[in-house]
Chain A
């Protein structure tokens, strides 16, 4: 009797267990909302247990957010940070891709400069901040240099590697049909390196955000990093969290933007590599 019951229960179980995998987007969204609520509840609990220095009340964070946004402080800081991120990333992307193309396409150059590029790449970007301060000062242009310096190498190295490792079979195909060097380079090797270049850019963008906050914390305080430091120093944790939320949103938006670009440019890559 009990055995029979067990069987009737056991049979549909695999189907029931599978169902959550096929959750629709609405259900996923509901689960995510639940996580957010859990975090908010957790913050309230921690606040009640350990005081507002350890964890501010989410309502206070909201109050501070509204205040910072309405008096223009947040917008100004966001503008300053975005300027540094955008210009730093732009310069590192342009110079990183150009230098990467040069090193990836020229075996002599790459062999000569490889150890230097690796040495610079292995040095933490922050190590150069004192030197950059001496050379460029403490303000926006110096911060852009910090970001450029930090984001340059991953972009450069990924570009160079992508080109140096371009698919030999495709290059040989081009040669067999009479393509000359320039054609092989720009029409086969560089496009073939595009996925690698794009992943270099994605890493570079992430580093740009980190580099900007570090520069704003350690050099002349400005932007979101500056707000963060000021709030932290005065133990205004509600204000501090309001800034952190904006930084999170900024980083997420940047990554999403690059993923979108990657998908647009790399439509042909779907399912590739499964064949030959």
Chain B
């Protein structure tokens, strides 16, 4: 663990609307190469903003970020999977994958071949010529994943990729993702607000708290491998991690944010 981190954030601060909203305040953490790290926290704590910062889609106001040893810049070394698949609706499934391969500078004939191979990898080879709207949400999300893998990224950034799916599809895709990660050992930064999902998948969980977005704590997860040999929820450690994180989130809520919101919902003159 002495090796240099692949992503490192030091006292990162990001504001919006000329400083009116502080989305991130003094956020610091590292991601090791090959690590599966999850960012967990309630809505509005800056998870998406953090991914954008790491990808180089937005600039920060203060602090330092290094992705792959340099100032982050969008490109094929970093690939993003979004909550909705964000497929280009006017392109076929294979066209969508070819699009990002073209951005990588791959030749036309090679692109097609590789797109088909990747669709095979996510089990959707037969849908190469379909349009996005002809597929189910789970299939679309698989294609979003295939597209990200297509560019052979060093780091995979995933923003609540399974949040919009039904419980069964989510369960299957989680396992597939974990097994893919185990084989390839790529670095994954995974955003979720599902505690179970974070524990199931991660080696490290960075807990965030909102308004402004800050790091609340970092939890290392150690579960028996291979994790999905049995339902990991049955491990006693799982319950311990879960109650620990649950408690921290209760504490966050107790810091007043929630009560304040409720109080604001009842105007004084009505009482």
Contact = CB atoms under 8 A, between A and B. Distances in A.
Given A178-B103, A271-B133, A169 B86 contact: yes
Contacts of A176: 55, 57, 74, 78-80
A175 B103 CA distance: 10
A275 B137 contact: yes
A96 B80 CA distance: 36
Nearest to B88: A170
Interface stretch (A22-30, A104-112, A183-191): A183-191
Contacts of B137: 275
A177 B75 CA distance: 5
B52 to A, nearest CB: 8
Given A178-B74, A270-B133, A188 B88 contact: yes
A189 B131 CA distance: 18
B103 A179 contact: yes
Nearest to B134: A271
A169 B84 contact: yes
Contacts, number: 59
A177 B151 contact: yes
A50 B89 CA distance: 58
Give the contact-size bracket for chain A: 20 to 34
Nearest to A266: B90
A269 B103 contact: no
A268 B90 contact: yes
Contacts of A267: 131
Interface in B30-69: 55, 57
Interface string A234-276: 0000000000000000000000000000000001111110111
> Which of A178, A183, A188, A275 gathers most chain B CB within 10 Å?
A178
B265 to A, nearest CB: 29
B165 to A, nearest CB: 12
B133 A173 contact: no
B86 A170 contact: yes
Contacts of A188: 88
A177 B76 contact: yes
A114 interface: no
B100 interface: yes
A243 B227 CA distance: 79
A248 B100 CA distance: 48
Contacts of A272: 89, 133
Given A178-B74, A192-B90, A268-B90, 10 more contacts: A176-B55, A177-B100, A178-B75, A178-B104, A188-B88, A194-B90, A268-B133, A270-B133, A271-B133, A272-B89
Which 5 pairs of residues, A with B, have the shortest CB-CB distance? Answer: A276-B84, A178-B75, A176-B80, A173-B86, A177-B100
Interface of B: 55, 57, 74-76, 78-80, 82, 84-86, 88-91, 99-100, 103-104, 131-133, 137, 140, 151, 164
Interface of A: 169-170, 172-179, 183, 187-188, 191-192, 194, 267-272, 274-276
